[in-house]
Chains A and B, each alone.
Chain A
């Protein structure tokens, strides 16, 4: 798919394009929009991030809401036709009836219908920590429950927790990129620019870090985080751990690029003008690596999302009561839970969707910015 798109710019070298000059960024943007999969990925991500911001509004229940009598309840059925065959204009649900509390087994209580209502008042929350509100998009009257994706072992609504948990899963990739990339760029730039002993020290450190199976190191470092950290601090520390393990690859590639352009005229000119070394590196050398860095950043994020889900899945990442997709998927780890309550697998599906969207977008960005690096 990317092949025909890559060929497209050549075909469309039409007069209207020759008439107006465009910046490289505009050209790249035009190319990016041609890749259907990249657009699909981008739109998916916009939706996911929008849902993350609006989570308290979209979620029918609060993060800590639980109905212990309805643990492992299956997804509630949304109906239009009731038990007596009458058609309703509004979708409705039935309340759960506990058939056997020990299995557990539930059946819909068809004696009464509960309309799904919009913009209902519910648990209070603050949107973006600022706007106080208690309006939720969807809701039903008690005793019915709107568990659209079922509940976990404590009777907590899976859909609501997925929406709240998306914050961790979607933000950690960006956070890690924000920490890793400045470090990797500066160290890679310094190593390539100075060479000699500094280069040797930095590159040998990179080699030592690269010699570990990365997840073993992540696991060990995550396990030494003090359990008393607040959830925000913990998220930050986990990002720091990812950055510590991940800066090497970037530094190595950037060192190679910088080594190649260190003695090009514009760098010599900057040096001759008397600029301090660090300024030459940051303002003149590193900007030439921009297209590589942008592509690498887009393709780093999905890796980090996978890593965080993995850590949380094994219980070393995000801790209760806050949550993430990996932690939610961890509930499906026992064979009993997995086979009897398969809706617990849904968080895994969301991880796949988010990672796939980032991979689509990253692939398109790579083709648009840096066609030389293309892989299929």
Chain B
């Protein structure tokens, strides 16, 4: 197992190299007239060309593109992600807290989605063709068709009129003055809306997968055997059925995380949540290239780690899997 993880980590090297290259190339495609310093000239015509050139040189942007890339790559190896043009702070400062917030939101949504989807999917499969099964299947279809920005807007609308939950952000204004238990409570209250907005989509998909998998397992011979040897139905379904039906869902985990990170970008923008997705949007609009490249890199690192976690989890859940 440890050897497997080690090998996966070694293979990450070339993958990360490819990711840095695409991150860099994507932003380089922009037409030259629209880089950050040019837009500065448009905003503040009084800035002298010499000052712009000096700024460019300060950030190393006067070099040929490929040299810039190698330079950036070299500094990443030293965990230096460069400086943000717009804020003039290290990119790592900006990204670090934002990535944690996005991770918090994604993981919360993931946990909530699984906690809801598994029981619902199990119920649907066990009571196949019942009225509630039909209703749940229809609801799942609707859930996977609602974009997260629309569900976020609907929730915002509901929250505004009911005054039950905070509308924007991750913390209240007086957050810094609260005792620690109130801080946790405050963050939890702020997380409710984004979690629902983001989780709805996943619940639909996961539920459908759980239902199909369990239905397949329920038809299998070893389940007949379990029944034949006189196990109570509850044990048949949960110990033998669900246990086997859940394996393919674990592989979905990484895939889900990718969807959640993407979906989080919308929810963050609608609900003013200080996450990575909002940072990317702000940065691409300002052409703050180091922030864009750093965020892209950070997003894919989160995704890769998620996939790795899924593979390791699968090895634990499914003892038939051998990584040698």
Interface of A toward B, CB cutoff 8 Å: 1, 3-4, 37, 204-205, 207-209, 211-217, 219-221, 223-224, 226-227, 302, 306, 309-310, 313-314, 316, 329, 332-333, 335, 338-339, 342, 345, 348, 351-352, 355-356, 359-360, 363, 374-376
Contacts and interface: CB of A to CB of B under 8 A. Distances in A.
A226 B167 contact: no
B145 A3 contact: no
Contact of A309 (B19, B134, B147, B215): B147
A223 B145 contact: no
A215 B268 CA distance: 13
B63 interface: no
A213 B299 contact: yes
Contacts of A313: 149, 266
B157 interface: yes
Contacts of B34: 226-227
A4 B147 CA distance: 29
Contacts of A359: 141, 144-145
A223 B160 contact: no
Interface stretch (B73-81, B183-191, B204-212): B204-212
Interface in B114-165: 128-129, 134, 137, 140-142, 144-147, 149-150, 153-154, 156-157, 160-161
B279 to A, nearest CB: 10
Contact of A348 (B153, B208, B304): B153
B44 to A, nearest CB: 20
A223 B285 contact: yes
A216 B144 contact: no
9 contacts: A212-B19, A215-B277, A216-B295, A216-B299, A220-B292, A223-B285, A309-B147, A329-B149, A333-B270
B246 to A, nearest CB: 16
Taking chain A's interface residues, is the majority helix, strand, or loop, or is none over half, making it mixed? Answer: helix
A213 B153 contact: no
A224 B27 contact: yes
A37 B138 CA distance: 10
Contacts of A345: 150, 153-154, 157
Contact of A221 (B26, B144, B209, B258): B26
A9 to B, nearest CB: 18
Contact of B145 (A302, A332, A338): A302
A220 B26 contact: yes
A222 to B, nearest CB: 8
Given A211-B304, A374-B212, A342 B14 contact: no
Nearest to A360: B141
A376 B149 contact: no
B67 to A, nearest CB: 20
A352 B142 contact: yes
Given A211-B303, A213-B261, A219-B281, 13 more contacts: A4-B129, A213-B300, A215-B262, A216-B299, A224-B29, A310-B149, A335-B156, A345-B150, A348-B149, A348-B153, A351-B147, A352-B150, A376-B212
- 4 smallest CB-CB distances across A and B, nearest first, come from A215-B262, A208-B18, A224-B30, A213-B261
Contact of B296 (A205, A216, A226, A314): A216
Interface residues of B, number: 59
Given A335-B156, A338-B153, A376-B209, A220 B147 contact: no
B231 interface: no
A207 B128 CA distance: 38
Contact of B19 (A211, A355, A360): A211
A166 to B, nearest CB: 16
B149 A352 contact: no
Contacts of B212: 374-376
Nearest to A302: B145
A352 B277 CA distance: 23
B265 interface: yes
Could you say which of A208, A220, A359 has the most chain B C-beta atoms within 10 Å of its C-beta? A220
A128 B129 CA distance: 46
A214 B296 CA distance: 10
Nearest to A211: B300
Contact of A214 (B26, B160, B258, B284): B258
A3 B160 contact: no
Contact of B150 (A223, A227, A342, A348): A348
A139 B302 CA distance: 54
Contacts of A355: 145, 147
B234 to A, nearest CB: 23
Nearest to A207: B15
Could you say which of A1, A211, A333, A359 has the most chain B C-beta atoms within 10 Å of its C-beta? A211
Contact of B18 (A204, A215, A223, A375): A204
B22 interface: yes
Given A211-B15, A213-B258, A213-B300, A219 B147 contact: no
Given A215-B262, A360-B141, A339 B161 contact: yes
A339 B157 contact: yes
B140 A219 contact: no
Nearest to B301: A211
Nearest to A226: B31
Contacts of B84: none
B110 interface: no
B269 interface: yes
A373 to B, nearest CB: 10
A205 B266 CA distance: 27
Could you say which of A209, A214, A335, A345 has the most chain B C-beta atoms within 10 Å of its C-beta? A335
B101 to A, nearest CB: 15
Nearest to A220: B26
A3 B133 CA distance: 12
B299 A212 contact: yes
A376 B265 contact: no
Given A208-B15, A329-B149, A329-B153, A213 B262 contact: yes
A314 B156 contact: no
A212 B296 contact: yes
Contacts of B209: 375-376
B296 A217 contact: yes
B26 A224 contact: yes
B105 interface: no
Contact of A335 (B145, B167, B208, B292): B167
Nearest to B270: A333
